[in-house]
């Protein structure tokens, strides 16, 4: 049996729709078409009015979800691409994000965001948006890297009473396969030690976890043992697991596919420096995408984001310090 990352998302939603009638789906092309990535294939036939095609109105989609949540529903909004969520930015950060703080009433919406680049996807179909939503209070931001995490964390996100920005990585949709749908059931909020090591720690999330493991495998041939920590959610950020890893290795590389200014990698480094300064044997490093819009041409795109090669180079720099 082989389950892909998108299969896991499909299965999670199927179970949620079946088990909880408060759950409904709203998004563009998610009805009989089954969604741009087929994440909702077959749902319209089974669940009818709980799976609705929305107009191209990201702002209204999220505002509507907030209203429905006030009245006890658990909507899942599918953004066709994370890049388009910027149209809904106001509703996400100001309506959904502030609601509990201001009124005491939680907003249990889940907004699914297909993030990350694929070759040729270009500047507006490739963005990683976890940092901007994590910046605003009141939102939970989840970034699964594995098939079983995609399944389990989506289920947990919908069951959580707070608004969740669920960052799915498009490239992992069909490329990432696993023999198992269910994994170690690590709860939302805990990071996972993907690969144990000794000489340096790479802290990362989403698709970059796999790139980091590839880089680690290469360095293993030279005798370096690199530890990889998968954050699984960037907010909440499991800094304890990160610190425990840095305590073992003394060296940190924070790795992400997002843009370099600020963001998850900066947050990780600043927390480790503040709380674990005495653990560091070398200055902590960061590796992100370049500070430009994401290029279209596959060769440019491949150079824009971290790759196993560039991760290896950065790790060599870190190990050399």
Partner 1 sequence: MTPPTFSFPPPPLEAVLDGDLLLRVFRSMLTARTLENKLSSLYKGGKIVGGVYLGTGQEALSASLGASLTKGRDYFSPLIRDQAGRTAFGEDMLDATRTYLGSAKGPMRGRDGNIHRGRPHQGMPAMISHLGAAVSVISGMLIAKRMKGELDGIVGATSIGDGATSTGSFHEGLNMAAVENLPLVVVIADNQFAYSTPRNRQFACESLLERAVGYGVGGVEVDGTDLKATLAGIQQAVTSARQGFGPQLVVARLLRLCGHGEHDDASYVPQELRDSLIGRDCLEVGASQIIEDGLTTAEEIEAWRKEAVEEVQEAVATAQRERGPDPYKEDWRATSVEGMQ
Partner 2 sequence: MPQVPIIMPQLGESIAEARIVRLLIAVGDTVVVDQEIIEVETNKATMGVTTLCGGTITELRGEEGEDYAVGTLLGILEASEEEIERTGSPVLGEREEDTEKESSKDEENLHFRSNDSSYEEPVLIEPSVRGLPVPAGVKGAHYISPRMRARMDELGLQAADISAIAGSGAGGRVTVEDLEKFLDYIQEWPRSSASPMRLAVADAMRRSWTRPFASVGLPIPMDKLLEYRSRQNPKPGLTLYVLRAFAIALSEEPTTAGFLIGDKVVHPRAFDLGVAVQVEDGVMVPVLRNVDQHRVSELSREYDELVKAGRERRLTPEKTSGGIATVTNFGTFGLKWGTPIPLPNETLILGLAAGIKTPKWSDEVGAFIPVTETELCLTFDHRVVDGGGAGMLLQRVGQLLQEPEKL
Q: What is the nearest approach in angstroms of partner 2 to the Cβ of residue 276?
A: 9
Q: Which is nearer to partner 1, 144 or 284 (CB)?
A: 144
Residue 193 binding target from partner 2, partner 1, none, CB below 5 to 8 Å by type: none
Name the CA dihedral angle for 92, 115, 152, 135, rounded to a multiple of 10 degrees: -40
Is 199 noted as a catalytic residue in this protein? no
Residues of span 11-40 touching partner 1 by CB under 8 A: 24
Work out whether the CA dihedral 185, 47, 179, 117 comes out positive or negative: negative
**By CB under 8 A, how many residues form the interface with partner 1?**
47
Q: What is the nearest approach in angstroms of partner 2 to the Cβ of residue 174?
A: 4
In Å, how far are 13, 28, 113, 164, 170 from 36, measured between CA atoms? 15, 8, 12, 21, 11
State the pairing for strand pair 285-287/177-178.
unpaired
Active-site entry in 125, 169, 210, 304: 125
Q: Which one, of 143, 124, 154, 113, lies nearest residue 9 by Cα?
A: 154
Residue 59 binding target from partner 1, partner 2, none, CB below 5 to 8 Å by type: partner 1
Question: Which residues are paired to 254 by β-bridges?
Answer: 203, 286
94 sits near partner 1 (criterion: CB under 8 A): yes
177 sits near partner 2 (criterion: CB under 8 A): yes
161 sits near partner 1 (criterion: CB under 8 A): yes
State the pairing for strand pair 226-230/192-195.
antiparallel
Q: What is the nearest approach in angstroms of partner 2 to the Cβ of residue 118?
A: 6
Q: Which is nearer to partner 2, 91 or 127 (CB)?
A: 127
List the structure tokens of 79.
């953004």
Query: What's phi and psi for 136, nearest 5 deg?
Result: -85, 135
Which of 12, 39, 69, 253 lies at the binding interface for partner 1 (CB under 8 A)? Answer: 69
260 sits near partner 1 (criterion: CB under 8 A): no
Residue 66 binding target from partner 2, partner 1, none, CB below 5 to 8 Å by type: partner 1
Phi/psi zone of residue 282: left (φ > 0), alpha (ψ -120 to 50 degrees), beta?
beta
Can you tell me the distance from the alpha carbon of 52 to that of 79, in angstroms, rounded to the nearest whole number? 13
189 sits near partner 1 (criterion: CB under 8 A): yes
Question: Tokens 């000794």 appear where?
Answer: 198
Q: Which one, of 109, 123, 31, lies nearest residue 70 by Cα?
A: 109
Q: Which residues are catalytic?
A: 125
- Interface contacts to partner 1, rule CB under 8 A: 24, 49-50, 54-55, 57-73, 75, 87, 90-91, 94-95, 97-106, 137-138, 140, 160-162, 189, 235-236
- Interface contacts to partner 2, rule CB under 8 A: 6, 36-38, 117-121, 125, 170-177, 207, 210-211, 214, 250, 277-283, 298-299, 302, 305, 307-309, 316-317, 319-321
């Amino acid at each position: 049996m082989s389950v892909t990352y998108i299969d896991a998302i499909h299965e999670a939603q199927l179970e949620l729709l079946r088990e909880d009638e408060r759950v409904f789906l709203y998004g563009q092309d998610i009805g009989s078409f089954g969604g741009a990535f087929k994440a909702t294939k077959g749902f319209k036939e089974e669940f009818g009015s709980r799976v609705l095609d929305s107009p191209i109105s990201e702002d209204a989609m999220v505002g509507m979800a907030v209203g429905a949540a006030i009245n006890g529903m658990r909507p899942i909004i599918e953004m066709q691409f994370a890049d388009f969520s910027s149209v809904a930015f106001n509703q996400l950060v100001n309506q959904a994000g502030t609601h509990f703080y201001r009124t005491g009433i939680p907003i249990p919406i889940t907004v699914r965001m297909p993030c990350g680049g694929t070759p040729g996807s270009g500047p507006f179909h490739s963005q990683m948006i976890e940092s901007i939503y994590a910046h605003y209070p009141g939102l939970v931001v989840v970034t699964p890297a594995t098939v079983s995490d995609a399944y389990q964390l989506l289920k947990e996100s919908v069951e959580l009473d707070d608004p969740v920005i669920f960052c799915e990585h498009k490239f992992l949709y069909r490329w990432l396969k696993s023999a198992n749908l269910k994994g170690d059931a690590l709860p939302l909020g805990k990071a996972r030690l993907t690969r144990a090591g000794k000489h340096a720690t790479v802290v990362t999330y989403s698709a970059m976890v796999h790139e980091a493991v590839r880089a680690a495998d290469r360095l293993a041939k030279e005798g370096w043992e690199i530890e990889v920590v998968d954050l699984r959610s960037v907010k909440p950020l499991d800094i304890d697991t990160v610190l425990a890893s840095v305590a073992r290795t003394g060296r940190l590389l924070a790795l992400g596919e997002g843009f370099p200014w600020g963001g998850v990698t900066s947050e990780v480094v600043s927390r480790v420096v503040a709380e674990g300064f005495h653990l560091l044997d070398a200055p902590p490093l960061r590796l992100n995408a370049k500070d430009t819009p994401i290029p279209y041409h596959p060769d440019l795109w491949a150079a824009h984001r971290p790759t196993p090669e560039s991760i290896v180079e950065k790790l060599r720099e870190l190990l050399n310090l």
